Amino acid sequence: MIDWASFLIVAAASLVSTAVVVSLYSFGLRFQGLTRQGAAGGEPVRPLYATVLAYLCFALSIGAVLFGIYLIVPFLHG
């Protein structure tokens, strides 16, 4: 017999975690692409906060993926 409540919990957790990982990666790309015109020479310059936030979003995205792999692979649980 299928436990539908458990199935729905797993489906909802999968949907939410996928949305979080994709959103973090998308925000990282958006912050990385955020540029403004520099004063000297007019070349595009990325603000420091955008660089920090981009790397933070990428790190959180990678951390979420690695945590998901940790949960899936039973060998890693010890």
Percent of the chain with pLDDT over 90: 76
Supply the mean pLDDT for the chain. Answer: 92
**What is the Cα–Cα distance from 58 to 21, expressed in whole angstroms?**
9
Per-residue model confidence (pLDDT) at position 41: 72
**What is the Cα–Cα distance from 50 to 55, expressed in whole angstroms?**
9
Between 24 and 39, the higher pLDDT residue: 24
**What is the Cα–Cα distance from 18 to 21, expressed in whole angstroms?**
5
Binning pLDDT at 50, 70 and 90, where does residue 31 land?
Answer: very high
CA-to-CA separations, 2 to 6, 7, 9, 14, 37, in angstroms, rounded: 9, 8, 13, 18, 59
Q: What is the pTM of this model?
A: 0.83
Between 59 and 2, the higher pLDDT residue: 59
